[in-house]
Amino acid sequence: MTAVNRDPLWYKDVIIYEIPVKSFFDSNRDGIGDLPGLIGKLDYLVDLGVTALWLLPFTDSPLRDDGYDIRDYYNVYPHYGTLNDFQRFLDEAHLRGLRVITELVLNHTSNTHPWFVSARSSRSSPYRDYYVWSDTTEKYQGTRVIFSDSEKSNWTWEPKTRQYYWHRFFHHQPDLNFDNPKVQEELLNVVKFWFSLGVDGLRCDAVPYLFEREGTNCENLPETHAFMKRLRKEIDVQFPGRMLLAEANQWPQEVLEYFGNEDEFHMAYHFPLMPRLFIAIAQGNRKPIVDILDQTPQIPDSCQWAIFLRNHDELTLEMVTDQERDYLWSYYAKDSRMRLNIGIRRRLSPLMQNDRRKIDLMQSLLLTLPGTPILYYGDEIGMGDNIHLGDRNGVRTPMQWSSDKNGGFSRADPSSLYIPPIQNPVYGYQVVNVESQIRYPTSPLSVLRQMFQVRQSTRIFGRGTLTVIHSRNQKVFAYFREYGGEVALILNNLSDATESVYVDLSRFNGYVPVEMFSQTQFPLIRKARFHFTLSPYGFFWFHLRPPRSEKAGKKGKGNP
């Protein structure tokens, strides 16, 4: 009785919206967003045009890593609601045709999880082997420290039982020992629990780090792939049509392995693409994007990239060269408070200096490059950030619904909010909010909504091939997307000047370019070289409409 699209490849056709429950809407005035609050905002999300929701961790946790430090895999953090609330949320989302993706944190738990509490209490605890212990810190020396701003080592001393335990993230997040079959069993049960409730997909956190082996960098090990393949097999049997998304912050060649032979993950983030979009728009040159696309291998048919501009973490700069990182830091994070670990803790709009042309252009890239786009909550209205808050909290501030108290996020006393909303003359909730942006057609929200509609009018963008057009003008990044006989031509001007470009359209002689937002028809393609003029940071999306005879021949292959 659900209205969701039943195609097993549904994840190729959705637009994903990423939501921290605590930041979205507070229904009971305790200053913290909650599941009932989120349910109340589902109609907003449907109206915006997203078709899948990715919820950040919401199970019980001491919240020292915002819920990625799990205390109980089977219960909801009390301030966010109950398991019943979650079930109701899921049903309400499905009724509206929205798919739901939740988190699967496999690699570690909180140090307050009962397994670790027991494990650390005695060497003979039945849970001792759930974690990774050592007498020395000499083991696995080839492993990098990820949270380099807060942790010096991947080992932390446990005084009571006089051994070190292993952790790839915060010291209060001990890594689980995947060599222990019981641990594997436990996590498989967690997976089955959430899929039985009806979630459509799991975003598998920190996947490369499940196993440790001496003499390696303890990432992407064959044992990790073997475990994920086992998990996938069970899902294919018990929960066909569900999706697994890999968070593997690695180079394309390594990520490719996570797709396996269509027997591991359905989706994986394209981490290296993201920073290069930011370099390209800063330099006004397509080269960084074209280079990374050239290095991106073909992926199996049923697999899909997940692409994004920003998310709940720092804009990670791990998948760039040292030179590129220095460039990005000096361009986008001049103030040291804007930096965190190996990244930049800012939102899209401030990164684009609140330049609407640049923001819209970045969204154009996000929506037309190969893969499924993910939008981070608040970026649809161009929310700002707060670099004075610690860790990544500056990009996790309350959603700005209106110019009312607390930005319409909560009726609680402002001093009791989990963190304050943005309040400054440029990005404050008095200026940037949903209520005002819904009212006029050129607001960031309205324009993005329209872009979503156009994207969803065809399957080209989610499923089509990409061919880069190597026009002479490097400031223009143009490409064809093609699927089932349909062709789109996309042009993006990455520079701050008006640009002119000749595009070789000889393959499409006799076709008519139809601008996708206005349905305006351009002159028939007669010459090999077609000329376009683009305004600063301007972009065009064209459908290339085939000549009449061919169109008749290809009938039925068009829109879904």
DSSP 108: B
Does 39 interact with Ca ion (rule: CB under 5 A)? no
User: Residue 28 touches which of ligand GLC, Ca ion, none (CB < 5 to 8 A by kind)?
Assistant: Ca ion
User: Residue 32 touches which of ligand GLC, Ca ion, none (CB < 5 to 8 A by kind)?
Assistant: Ca ion
Tell me the H-state helices in 58-142: 83-95, 114-121
Within 10 angstroms of residue 348's Cβ, the number of other Cβ atoms is: 27
Q: Measured in whole angstroms, how far is the alpha carbon of residue 490 from the centre of its chain?
A: 23
Residues 304 and 267: beta-carbon distance below 8 Å: yes
DSSP 468: E
| CA dist list (Å): 95 to 1, 46, 88, 91, 194 | 8, 11, 10, 6, 18
Compute the least distance from the CB of residue 146 to ligand GLC, in Å. Answer: 8
User: Residue 103 touches which of ligand GLC, Ca ion, none (CB < 5 to 8 A by kind)?
Assistant: none
The CA distance from 207 to 305, in Å, is 16
Stretch that binds Ca ion, among 23-31, 394-402, 470-478, 546-554 (CB under 5 A): 23-31
Does 313 interact with ligand GLC (rule: CB under 6 A)? yes
Q: Which is nearer to ligand GLC, 318 or 360 (CB)?
A: 318
Q: Which is nearer to Ca ion, 345 or 396 (CB)?
A: 396
Q: Which of residues 167-186 bind ligand GLC (CB under 6 A)?
A: 169
Does 65 interact with ligand GLC (rule: CB under 6 A)? yes
Residues in contact with Ca ion, counted by CB under 5 A, come to a total of 5
- Beta strands (DSSP E) in 92-154 are 99-105, 133-134
Selected binder of Ca ion within 28, 137, 217, 430 (CB under 5 A)? 28
Question: Cα(first)–Cα(last) distance of the chain, in Å?
Answer: 21
Residues that are catalytic: 205, 247
Residues in contact with ligand GLC, counted by CB under 6 A, come to a total of 9
Q: Which is nearer to ligand GLC, 168 or 286 (CB)?
A: 168
Within 10 angstroms of residue 73's Cβ, the number of other Cβ atoms is: 18
Within 10 angstroms of residue 418's Cβ, the number of other Cβ atoms is: 21
Does 206 interact with ligand GLC (rule: CB under 6 A)? yes
Does 219 interact with ligand GLC (rule: CB under 6 A)? no
Q: Which of 250, 258, 242 is closest to 202 using CA atoms?
A: 242
Residues 273 and 296: beta-carbon distance below 8 Å: yes
The CA distance from 353 to 332, in Å, is 9
Q: Which is nearer to ligand GLC, 151 or 313 (CB)?
A: 313
Compute the least distance from the CB of residue 52 to Ca ion, in Å. Answer: 24
Does 26 interact with ligand GLC (rule: CB under 6 A)? no
Residue 419 class from Cβ within 10 Å (0-12 exposed, 13-18 middle, 19+ buried)? middle
Selected binder of ligand GLC within 85, 158, 175, 205 (CB under 6 A)? 205
Compute the least distance from the CB of residue 198 to Ca ion, in Å. Answer: 24
The CA distance from 540 to 518, in Å, is 11
Tell me the H-state helices in 334-403: 348-351, 356-368
Does 319 interact with Ca ion (rule: CB under 5 A)? no
Encoded one letter per residue, x for contact with ligand GLC by CB under 6 A and - for no contact, window 97-116 reads --------x-----------
Q: Which is nearer to Ca ion, 173 or 406 (CB)?
A: 406
Q: Which is nearer to ligand GLC, 10 or 377 (CB)?
A: 377
Interface with Ca ion by CB under 5 A: which residues? 26, 28, 30, 32, 34
Binding site for ligand GLC (CB under 6 A): 65, 68, 105, 169, 205-206, 247, 312-313
